[in-house]
Structure 1
Amino acid sequence: MGQDESRMVDEKTPPQTLKSRTLDAVAEYIRDGRARRIVVMTGAGISTSAGIPDFRSPDTGLYANLARLNLPYAEAVFDIGYFRGNPLPFYTLAQELYPGNYRPTITHSFINLLHQKGLLLKLFTQNIDCLEREAGVPDDKIVEAHGSFARQSCIECKAPYPEELMKKAIHEKSVPHCIREECDGLVKPEIVFFGEQLPADFFENRSLPGEADLCIVMGTSLSVQPFASLPMMCGDGTPRVLINGEQVGEMGSRADDVLLIQDCDTGVRKLAEACGWLDELEDLWEQTAPWARSGQPKPEQADEPKKSPDEQLQDEVDKLTKEIDQNLQLGQDQHTWLENHVDNKFARVQDNENGKGPTAPLTTGKTVASDTKAERREPSDGGLHHVFPWLSKKSSL
């Protein structure tokens, strides 16, 4: 794994395994049955569309929104030394991150679809949110490199802690202790904190990418070791697909690397469509909806087709256009009032000059109402928050 591999492959270099470095070539490779052992590697980027913030994004990331917990530094919330002395900030945060608060994304359902088709060798995830599990991926197919909320135990004696008691503690923002009276140590979910070792499961399965015939990397910066080294474990002729907002690590340095630089949900939809699986994927994702999980009938509005990003943007443009039209109409009303006001003023001046005294205003009730409306309608700060809601929306963290 030398430095040469970190350079992007020359466009003139032909692929070894795929027909071309394209999405269609990857889909053909899968359809032909040549991808039977797929390894998937994921990070926080596959969960952001579910509403869960990632950790490191400026302003919107988890670490950037922890000031309210009065921590000495943001990462302290996941520091085992700090947790021993003050576990309450973690349990305050855990109430918002705990499984059940968020719906899996269509990317999570895509991983489950690979499993249902018998193609998923293993999922390696950096995420602690358990959304892969909620999407239907079974426990034995998941390696949670940084642990998760799926299990909890005492940090002293390592005794397991009942899930129902953990749910109760997190709901109440209380700090649970070991159920063994002779121990009474602090309990936490088996999330890997700073100062703790990665799960043994990670190291036991770390060589599996070498057995894969396709690797899919999604929603990760590949900046945290040893997880970041996993894609390099794949064989030289193994196609690797990156679905991410940007190029990361040494992805793109091999002859059979395919880069889809876009958000994960869009990317998996395109890949599923190219494989002929899109309807299956949408149906599978629909099963993760709250109404479906609770056994309720499908709401009528759920029959409406999901709008594409372009359609959503058009809706926002239409909304903005309507508001501009309203503002223009308001301007016309104000202009009418101003004309009347000037006419009245001029008439009073003329009357005064002719010695007739003051003249009663000629404004009507309608124009007065428009004036009152104009006074009440003040521009909001920023002006475009209705188009870009995240400009004013504060993170839940």
Structure 2
Amino acid sequence: MDKKLEKIAEVLKKEGSTVTFFVGAGISTNCGIPDFRSPKTGLYANLQRLNLPYPEAVFDIEYFKKSPKAFYTLADELFPGKFLPSIFHYFIKLCQDKGKLRRCYSQNIDTLERIAGVEDDKIVEAHGSFANSHCITCKAEMETKVLRKLMKTGIPKCPVCKGYVKPDIVFFGEGLPSKFFDLWDEDCDTEKNLAIVAGTSLAVFPFANLPHEINKNCKRVLINREKCGTFLDSPRKTDIILLEDCDKIAEKLVDLLGWKTELDALIAKGKKKMETEKKLVEESESESESEEEEADKHKGVEKAEKLSKEVAAKVAKAEEGSKEGSTRGKEDKDVVDLASDLEKTKI
């Protein structure tokens, strides 16, 4: 394995060399995010509690239109801000900092590449992500932080047309982002490039075709638990296969490249940033709750004042009726009911 790693490091050290990544859920499992298809631990294997007609329905656009609750139950668990990027994510970021990153094609929706610091023009989220959100009816855009806030109170709906709002994750029944096709036309024919395929079963198309379509002069690397896709069906003599945990391989490569100090600094900075953002979110939510409580209290005061005036008016009317010798039964009952309501509104 050491010789294989040295070959990869040698290519990365060459002046003018670049690397294109093709990554899947396997680079995020060490962050605490389950992959999709593992038989016992995968996401699809643990969705019985959502009472879905079939596991993939949670990401089916037609099912979402009828019953968005299942998706948003899952989305609450996967929403960005709860997970720190892995060593592999930071390895991609380091390649960018060193001027080596051509592109990162990702199947992941967790935005961890972005959180690690990889720039938007370097990322192609083939299956979309939580980074942006839109109304599925009128296409109005909604900021992710607003979506997160609305999720606290129920299913997010569009303020314009009241349609359901959905993160820009590509559901079954939807097309892939145009960015995926536009940039692949530029990237696929790059020569003397390094292609690193990591943490993916290469089971979902058209993403699964990408490593097969890349230029024949490009050295391909697979970092995965098992061989898959084109590395099984159409292997190349120059392929490098590393059947190992993605983070362990990334850590060894960082050591060989002399980037260890920078990796440690990125991880420390990421942890500090997450702690700060988490604290700000908690403070914001606390302030929001206080404002809501204050608003409720204000409404209570207004209701109490209104009822108090009504009680006073009824009492005056009852007294006037008594002087005139009229029946007070109904008036007395009205006064008692209003007085009871008034007692309930006391703060």
Counterpart position of 2:194: 214
SS at match of 1:266: helix
Cα-to-partner distance string for 1:243-285 (whole Å, 9 max, x where unaligned):
1111111227112211111010001111112222223222222
Distance 1:281 1:164, change over 3 A: closer
Distance 1:85 1:248, change over 3 A: same
Runs of 4+ in 1 over 4 A off after TM superposition: 290-293
1:204 paired residue among 182, 193, 216: 182
Cα distance in structure 2, aligned partners of 1:171 and 1:104: 24
TM-score of the superposed pair, with normalisation by structure 1: 0.66
Cα distance in structure 1, aligned partners of 2:92 and 2:259: 12
The answer as to whether partners of 1:239 and 1:256 remain within 8 angstroms in 2 is yes
SS at match of 1:251: helix
How many equivalent residue pairs? 273
2:65 paired residue among 84, 89, 92: 84
Indicate whether 1:188 and 2:166 are aligned.
yes
Give me the CA root mean square deviation: 1.9
The answer as to whether partners of 1:287 and 1:293 remain within 8 angstroms in 2 is no
Cα distance in structure 2, aligned partners of 1:280 and 1:86: 46
The answer as to whether partners of 1:103 and 1:289 remain within 8 angstroms in 2 is yes
2:203 paired residue among 223, 232, 248: 223
Once the two structures are TM-superposed, the CA of residue 242 in structure 1 deviates from its matched residue by: 1.1
Structure 1 unaligned regions, length at least 5: 1-19, 297-397
Counterpart position of 2:21: 40
Indicate whether 1:105 and 2:83 are aligned.
no
Cα distance in structure 1, aligned partners of 2:250 and 2:189: 23
Aligned-partner residue type, residue 129 of structure 2: S
Cα distance in structure 2, aligned partners of 1:99 and 1:156: 24
Aligned-partner residue type, residue 221 of structure 1: S
SS at match of 1:210: coil
Structure 2 unaligned regions, length at least 5: 279-347
Counterpart position of 1:285: 267
SS at match of 1:203: helix
Once the two structures are TM-superposed, the CA of residue 292 in structure 1 deviates from its matched residue by: 6.8
Once the two structures are TM-superposed, the CA of residue 32 in structure 1 deviates from its matched residue by: 2.5
1:122 paired residue among 103, 126, 141: 103
Identical residues among aligned pairs (%): 49
Aligned-partner residue type, residue 92 of structure 1: T
Cα-to-partner distance string for 1:6-61 (whole Å, 9 max, x where unaligned):
xxxxxxxxxxxxxx9722122112213252x2111100000000000001111111
TM-score of the superposed pair, with normalisation by structure 2: 0.75
Choose 60-69 or 20-29, whichever is displaced more.
Answer: 20-29
The answer as to whether partners of 1:161 and 1:179 remain within 8 angstroms in 2 is no
Counterpart position of 2:242: 260
Indicate whether 1:240 and 2:217 are aligned.
no
Cα distance in structure 2, aligned partners of 1:205 and 1:291: 31
Cα distance in structure 2, aligned partners of 1:269 and 1:164: 33
The answer as to whether partners of 2:81 and 2:274 remain within 8 angstroms in 1 is no
Cα-to-partner distance string for 1:178-200 (whole Å, 9 max, x where unaligned):
221xx322110010111111111
Choose 152-161 or 280-289, whichever is displaced more.
Answer: 280-289
